Structure 1
Amino acid sequence: MQAGMHDLNGQPFYVRTWGDPALPRLLLLHGFPEYGGAWEDFAPLLADRFHVIAPDQRGYGRSWAPADVGEYTASKLVSDMVALIGDDGPVTVLGHDWGAGVAYALAFMHPELVSRLIIANGVHPAPFQREMAKGGAQSEASQYINYLRAEGSEDKLAANDFEKLLALFSAKMDMSWLQGDVLARYKEAWGRPGRLRGMINWYRASPLVVADPGKPVTDLRALPVERLQVRCPHLLIWGAGDIALLPAATEGLEDFAADLTRVEIADADHWLFHQKPQEIADVVRDWLDRT
């Protein structure tokens, strides 16, 4: 693994890479509350086939973390990745959690840069918004978003050595991987000045609406289906034990991705890359061999 700072759109970003730079590129996009180091078990498993690239995204780790919520709109998050890809596209893109949101937006806005799209326990904005607006199970599971959006939530999460952040991170899921040196590195990333605010600003800048449980929101503006299409081969990998993102939030994804393959990992949850890295790498290889 190699790592260092890159200038993207005039700002510093920390990027980790694995494998021969002459190989095809695989861009890995982490979610909340992780950072580029989250891929350290998974990335080497594909480094014989790809030059694997894993940035700390805006607001995370050692990368640029502006305080202004307006700096975290989807178009700005995507612009970072457009700059990172540069003239080396198209690339295969894999996104998890919030990284999936950037991966989808990159595929929508710059389809010429994405040859294949892999999403793992992440959601397309249209089905996700549909489910969050119903006031049902996904609305209940997503109430933490409203908590995070509240001003000052970063201070509450950081208190007592990140006690509330760890509770949010691990609720009812297998966190046996987050201990020892791994946990220490996460705390180091969270503790960098301004990083927790930057991380949470992703939620604050998002236009997605979370209904209160039992109170559907029915006056949402319809999302433009044509502008939200995935036009390349698309693989969705799903850890079945996820309690934050529910399977219903992926229903109808075929309407937005004509070339979609679904693979369920039965004995994993939202943190599947830490729990089953080799199994997921094998799924990715098998799919690549068939597309």
Structure 2
Amino acid sequence: MNARAKIHTLRTPAPVEPRRSSVRGPDGELAVTTWGDARQPAIVFVHGYPDNSSKWEDVAQQLCDDFFIVAYDVRGAGRSFTPQGGRAAYKLDRLCADFQAVIDAVSPGRPVHLVAHDWGSIQSWEFATEPRLRGRLASYTTVSGPCLDHVGHWMRDRLRRPTPGNLWQLGQQLVKSWYICFFHLPWLPETLWRGVLGRRWHQVLRLLEATSVPPREGQARDGANGVNLYRANMIPRLFGPRARHAHAPVQVLALMQDNYVNPALTDNLGRWVPELWRREVQGGHWLSLKNPAQFAGLVREFVTHIEGAPASAALQHARVR
């Protein structure tokens, strides 16, 4: 990490008051939170499941002195609208249309740096590979959420060459993905969220992930609605993968203690990503919550390089293509 990144990572900035607003998306109102000066380079954060944009608060505070930070609640989460139409309303093309509405509102004349986690990262791969958004992204940092199409090709490659190593990787990921099968069951996941899990999610994170978060109003709603993300997209994309090529520089943060995403999924992305950095990070799935300073430092280092700063030794080592 370069000297400037280290200084910003270790300091404790004075809290900056977030500004809350909304953007009219194609299907409903999307809640948006911003920090910092809109004249600075913009970084847009997309949260995963079953989170909402509040998860980025501590990371935003680390970065907002030097960047314009934007986070929004995806459809069905937080203060954003809940779409009608069941699972079809959660397809990747609708999520992409929401993202485009947000960036057109907050940064209409300038490309944005995109940072995403978990299901936010899965949908953000759609943004980073969607031809109509070419030129709208300055960079993309992806964490714990692979492109579903890339995973579909990854699975096919391992089944075509069923070596012990390939089958081991595939088996590891299938075990880590047990919950995806559960989410495809009718009514049961929603009932669980609206019952005990919504009230106890903060305790589940503390027990299984050693991650402390306060209880959050709306957690049950976010969990129950977000199940449709899996139902709408997983099977079509995994079993009918498209060729999806990134049109912006990509930084992959491969979390080596991730209980849900096998780092091997990001081993061979060079075929899909012309400008690629892959960094193995010792941490678990919710690194951004457990260590927001470290997470922000990794984002800062990459974004400042894309903005024109020399690459640090760590970035030079992580460069794949």
Q: Which residue of 2 aligns with 1:95?
A: 116
Q: Rate the CA distance shift 1:166–1:48 in 2: closer, same or farther, 3 A.
A: closer
Q: Rate the CA distance shift 1:209–1:12 in 2: closer, same or farther, 3 A.
A: closer
* Equivalent pairs, count: 270
Distance in 1 (CA, whole Å) between partners of 2:66 and 2:276 is 22
Distance in 2 (CA, whole Å) between partners of 1:174 and 1:148 is 23
Structure 1: runs of 5+ lacking an equivalent: 212-219
* 2:154 maps to 1:114: no
Helix, strand or coil at the partner of 2:66: coil
Q: Which residue of 1 aligns with 2:298?
A: 283
Q: CA RMSD in A?
A: 2.4
Q: Which residue of 2 aligns with 1:3?
A: 20
| TM-score using structure 1 length | 0.84
Q: Mapping of 1:209-224 within 5 angstroms?
A: 220-221=239-240, 223-224=241-242
Distance in 1 (CA, whole Å) between partners of 2:180 and 2:207 is 14
Check the 8 A contact 2:250/2:277 in 1, yes or no: yes
Aligned residue type for 1:203: Y
Aligned residue type for 1:160: V
Helix, strand or coil at the partner of 1:242: coil
Q: Which residue of 2 aligns with 1:215?
A: none
| TM-score using structure 2 length | 0.77
2:278 alignment partner, one of 262, 275, 286: 262
Helix, strand or coil at the partner of 1:41: helix
Distance in 2 (CA, whole Å) between partners of 1:39 and 1:26 is 12
Distance in 1 (CA, whole Å) between partners of 2:236 and 2:94 is 20
2:195 alignment partner, one of 155, 159, 164: 159
* 2:187 maps to 1:136: no
Q: Rate the CA distance shift 1:36–1:142 in 2: closer, same or farther, 3 A.
A: same
Structure 2: runs of 5+ lacking an equivalent: 1-17, 160-169, 307-321
Q: Rate the CA distance shift 1:70–1:224 in 2: closer, same or farther, 3 A.
A: closer
Aligned residue type for 1:119: T
Q: Which residue of 2 aligns with 1:47?
A: 64
Q: Which residue of 1 aligns with 2:251?
A: 235
Aligned-pair distance for 1:191?
A: 3.8
Aligned-pair distance for 1:161?
A: 5.3
User: Which one has the bigger helix percentage?
Assistant: 2
Q: Deviations over 1:221-255 (max 9, x none)?
A: 4x332xx1112211111221101001121121121
* 2:190 maps to 1:190: no
Distance in 2 (CA, whole Å) between partners of 1:23 and 1:270 is 29
Q: Deviations over 1:181-210 (max 9, x none)?
A: x2x22xx12245xx4332111111014379
1:71 alignment partner, one of 62, 82, 89: 89
* 2:47 maps to 1:30: yes
Check the 8 A contact 1:143/1:210 in 2, yes or no: no
Helix, strand or coil at the partner of 2:79: coil
Distance in 1 (CA, whole Å) between partners of 2:197 and 2:242 is 43
Distance in 1 (CA, whole Å) between partners of 2:96 and 2:237 is 23
Helix, strand or coil at the partner of 1:40: helix
Check the 8 A contact 1:149/1:204 in 2, yes or no: yes
Q: Rate the CA distance shift 1:53–1:61 in 2: closer, same or farther, 3 A.
A: same
Distance in 1 (CA, whole Å) between partners of 2:182 and 2:83 is 21
Check the 8 A contact 1:131/1:138 in 2, yes or no: no
Distance in 2 (CA, whole Å) between partners of 1:288 and 1:191 is 34
Aligned-pair distance for 1:112?
A: 2.1
Distance in 1 (CA, whole Å) between partners of 2:98 and 2:76 is 12
Check the 8 A contact 2:123/2:147 in 1, yes or no: no
Q: Deviations over 1:67-90 (max 9, x none)?
A: 411100000001001011112441
Q: Which residue of 2 aligns with 1:126?
A: 149
Check the 8 A contact 2:139/2:248 in 1, yes or no: yes
Identity of aligned residues (%): 25
Q: Which residue of 2 aligns with 1:246?
A: 262
Aligned-pair distance for 1:10?
A: 5.2
Q: Rate the CA distance shift 1:209–1:144 in 2: closer, same or farther, 3 A.
A: farther
